[in-house]
Each structure stands twice: as C-alpha cells, then as structure tokens.
Amino acid sequence: MSTSQDGKRSTAKKPRPRRRARHSLSREMILEAAETIAVRDGLDGLTFQALGKELEAHPTSIYRHFRDKDELVLELIDSLRAGSYGGQLEATDSWREDLRVMARHIHDHYLRYPQFALQMAARTTRRPAEFKNVEFALDALVRAGLPPEEATSTMRVFGNVIRALSSMESGLHALDDNTRRGDALAWEVEYRSLSPEAYPRIASMSDHLTSIGDPHVFDQAVEMLLDAVETRVAVLSASTS
Amino acid sequence: MSTSQDGKRSTAKKPRPRRRARHSLSREMILEAAETIAVRDGLDGLTFQALGKELEAHPTSIYRHFRDKDELVLELIDSLRAGSYGGQLEATDSWREDLRVMARHIHDHYLRYPQFALQMAARTTRRPAEFKNVEFALDALVRAGLPPEEATSTMRVFGNVIRALSSMESGLHALDDNTRRGDALAWEVEYRSLSPEAYPRIASMSDHLTSIGDPHVFDQAVEMLLDAVETRVAVLSASTS
DNA sequence: GAAGCAAGTCATCGCCATTGACTATAAGGT
DNA sequence: ACCTTATAGTCAATGGCGATGACTTGCTTC
C-alpha cells in the first residue's frame, strides 16, 4: 500500500503520476488552490493551467466541478467574503461607533483582496454574512433614531458608499506601479503648476491637495455620512417635540 | 480615377483591397473606431481583429500607432471623458446646487459607458476637463464657507464618492441580465422570508428594502454629503462668533 | 529618379478557455 | 466475487486572443 501506489504520486520528480484517484478533487480543494494562486499571482494568474499545476491535476479536470471560469470566480469571491467578514460584529451602546467599526471591517476586507474588489462591490451574495451585516446596520440606524423608511434607505446609502469607496481604493492598489506612481505624482506636481489665472482656487490651495488614493478619504466619508445621520435625527426630534 | 484605384477599395466585396495608403491611419481614426466598437459590442468586443475589420486594415497595423492594447484603452477612456463632461459648468449663487449639478453630470457620464466605468473611476486624467471640475468643486466649497484645508479634503471625499458610486451603479448595468435579475430579486424575496427571530430588524422593515441598484441611492448620498458640509460650516461659524 | 525609411502587412508564437472523445475506476447490484 | 455502469479525471484539438519580427510597399526627400 505504501510502496507502489504512494510512491507513484509523492516522489513524482517531474512526470505526471499517471492519474489522480477517483474522488481526490472537490470544489473546496479547487477553491482553496484558486485562492492561493489569486493571492500570490493576482487574478490574471488564475488560469486553468495554473490551477492544474497547483492541484497536480489536469487543467481540464476542473470542468468536472465548475461549469466555467466565471462560476469558479464568483464562488471564490463568496467564499472569501464569508471567511473574511464573518460574524464578529457586536452592538455597543454607541450606534456611531458600531457603524464605524462595520465600515472599517468591510473596508479592510476589500483591501485584502485588491484583485477581486472591482467585481465584489456590485454583487449581492445572499448569504448569512451579508444578512448579518444588513441587520446590524439597520439596528444601529434605528437606535440612532431614524424611522424605518429612512433607516432602510440610509443603510443602503451607507453600505453602497462603503463598498464603492473601498472597491475604488482597492482597485487603485491593483494598478501596476508605474501607473499608480504617475497618477499620484500628478497631484503633487502638475496641479501645483497650473496657472493661477485659469485656476485660482487650485493655485491657492494646491498645498493641501492630496492624491486620489489618500486613505484618509474613506474615514472622512464615513464621518460625514454619520454626521448627516445625526443632523437628520436632530431635525426630526425637534419637529416632533 | 473611378475605375482602377477607387474600384479596388470601395467596391471590395470580401477580398482585402491590396493595401491601405501610406498615412491613411492615425491615432484619432483608431480611437474613433474603437469607440464605435466598444459602444456597440462592449469592451470585450474590442479586439485587434475587430478594429482591423472596422478600419478595413490589418489588425496588427494598430501596433504602429499604439504600443499595446492597454495604451489604446487608456487613451480611449481619456477621450471619452473629455468629450463627455467638457466645460459647461457654470457657478450660480447656490454652492449646493452647483455641486449637485456637477455630481449629476459626472454620474451621467459614467452611466453612458458602463463597460468602462470600472476602469475609469480609479484613474487620474490630468487633463483640462478634470482641472476644471476640481476648480469648480473647490470654489463651491469655499463659497459654502469651508476653510482651505477642509475644502480640499472635502472636495476629494465628494469627488471620490461620486465617482465610486457612479462606477458601481454603472458596473451593475454591465452585468448580464440573469445575474442582475437574480440579485434584484434577492432583495424583494429572500430578504422578506428571513426569520424574525434571527433578523428582527430586517423582518420588520423588509417592506422598505430596495435593491442594491436603486438609482435613488446616488441622489441621497449626494444630499447627505451636502448636509454634512452645511452642518460643518454652521459649527465653524458658531465657534468663531 | 534613386535612396531610404516609416507604415502597412503577414506568418507565426504562446497563452487562454472550452469541448468532445477516451479511459480508468469506484460503487452497486446480482 | 464478478460484471455493469456512471463518472471523475485525462488528453488532443479548436479557435480566439495579444504580441513579435521579418517583409514589402509606397511616400518623401534630395
């Protein structure tokens, strides 16, 4: 049992060890290998050939488990999301802090997988992890003092802004270095050298201009939205009293 | 004039008419053809072969004008942007209205080219159209009453949120119909049938839940940001008086 | 009108996703 | 214990993609 069969597969210097065992492949294993490759080489490196090599299986074997590459990628995105922002959200007595924490949570998840960010943002998952987030955000907004209708629409705005911003910031990280450097430099150099006549505001404030990828933008956006909620609540309670 | 030379090229039923004239190709012509193809068939349809057919030239001729496909696509994006939100922004006496109009302007541009939206959002253009927008937004925020530092960072937040949200909404339109329908239905059906015990907030508010692609989200996000600016200005003027 | 070179062409490369035919193998009935 | 059968894994082939390098043609310049 150990000499013949095991030997064929594990010692394999370079030639393919005949054939894999019958049920030695599964959706889970393939997704795992896909994540390894995607994290290491980026989404472009995720090819059937690469998968085949990573799994020590024939590239087309994957077609027995996934209809096509799209199905594989979508499922991979789902599994990443499930693994990343699972359940550890817990409400405190500050709705503001709760929403802030959730935002940062999601933001970090997107930044962890820059290659997928663009495709992740627009898709609905319909899985427990997502339900939990929605419930959590709704609860916080109701505790803040918003009536049901406004809580739902505000939740949608808050969630979409968070995902969209995170996705964009993350997508920036996925650009190649030269491109990114050029874009960042543009804000530091080109904007400073614009004529004060044509662009008076830019000229007078160019010292404060930061690049498009400034990570502080996300935090400020979150705070501004939270401020808006607070103001709205104050207006509502004033009008009812 | 009409028989020999003209006949060869214009009547061309199917065979290639020998060879194109020496300077009959240019960056502009190629970009124009690329836009035609991309708008008609989507970004995936934009291949060198398709370009060759559209231009009635050999596919590889394009390499004499663009180093590679990436250069072509980036330039195409730039030219679309320049053509779309050109100069017609004009300041009124309401900074709020000005920023609102600008937001809608950019939003519409992104929705016009869903195929490009994802790649457009994260890139800096460094062209007059962009300078003009930045100048316009900065001016509006200063008129609103923000000090220079806050005006610049707020401008960045405002711009990024607008572009990111537009890009996401637009990217949604680029999804295939089945996927989009399934995602939209999830919010109407699946979220309504979640157990009230596990998800009390969702259960009690499910009537108000709208899909992730709700176009109203963009408008509300803009209003919330503008509200936050207004509140901030009020706080600042209160503390200085 | 000859020379020279840039612009257009062509054959070809290597990589990709996907398919249909095949083949070994594990499970299950007898 | 055997034989059958469905099926997971394999393989060769297809067609499309971006890209390259050698070539050839026709415009320009002297």
Å from B202 (CA) to D13 (C1')?
A: 53
* B220 lies in some domain: yes
Q: Does A194 touch chain B (CB under 8 A)?
A: yes
Same domain, A57 and A92: no
Chain D nucleotides close to protein (CB under 7 A) are 7-12, 16-21, 25-28
pLDDT at B124: 67
Same domain, B47 and B104: no
Counted domains in chain B: 2
* B196 lies in some domain: no
Q: State the number of CA atoms in the 13 A half-sphere of A142 facing the CB.
A: 15
Same domain, B150 and B230: yes
Q: Per-residue pLDDT for chain B (241 aa), expressed as one digit of tens each?
A: 333 333 333 333 344 456 787 788 899 999 999 999 998 988 889 999 999 999 999 999 999 999 999 899 988 987 887 766 656 788 999 999 999 999 999 999 888 888 778 777 766 666 677 788 889 999 999 999 999 999 999 999 999 999 999 999 988 887 766 677 777 887 778 888 899 999 999 999 988 888 878 889 999 999 999 999 999 999 999 887 6
Mutate to test the interface with B, among A96, A124, A142 (most CBs of B within 10 A): A124
- Which three-class secondary structure state does DSSP give residue B105? helix
Q: A-chain residues within 8 Å CB-CB of B163?
A: 168
* B162 lies in some domain: yes
Q: Per-residue pLDDT for chain A (241 aa), expressed as one digit of tens each?
A: 333 333 333 333 344 467 888 888 999 999 999 999 998 998 889 999 999 999 999 999 999 999 999 899 988 988 887 777 666 788 999 999 999 999 999 999 999 888 788 777 777 777 777 888 899 999 999 999 999 999 999 999 999 999 999 998 888 877 766 667 777 777 778 788 889 999 999 999 988 887 777 889 999 999 999 999 999 999 999 887 7
pLDDT at B10: 36
* B183 lies in some domain: no
Domain boundary pick from B32, B66, B100: B66
Do A151 and A115 touch, CB atoms closer than 8 A? Answer: no
Distances, alpha carbon B77 to alpha carbons A108, A117, A152, B22, B173, in Å: 29, 21, 35, 27, 18
* A196 lies in some domain: no
Same domain, A26 and A125: no
The residues, any chain, with a CB within 8 Å of residue A221's CB and separated by 6 or more, are: A161, A165, B157, B160, B161, B225
pLDDT at B21: 79
Q: Per the structure block, which two tokens stand in for A79?
A: 């599994």
Same domain, B47 and B128: no
- DSSP type of residue B5: I
pTM: 0.81
pLDDT at A85: 66
* A98 lies in some domain: yes
Domain boundary pick from A37, A66, A95: A66
- The whole domain housing A118 covers 86-174+210-240
Same domain, A28 and A130: no
For B1-42, the pLDDT digits (tens) are 333 333 333 333 344 456 787 788 899 999 999 999 998 988
* B7 lies in some domain: no
Q: Per the structure block, which two tokens stand in for B215?
A: 């176009």
Q: State the number of CA atoms in the 13 A half-sphere of A223 facing the CB.
A: 11
pLDDT at B5: 37
Same domain, B48 and B114: no
Q: CATH no. for residue A37? A: 1.10.10
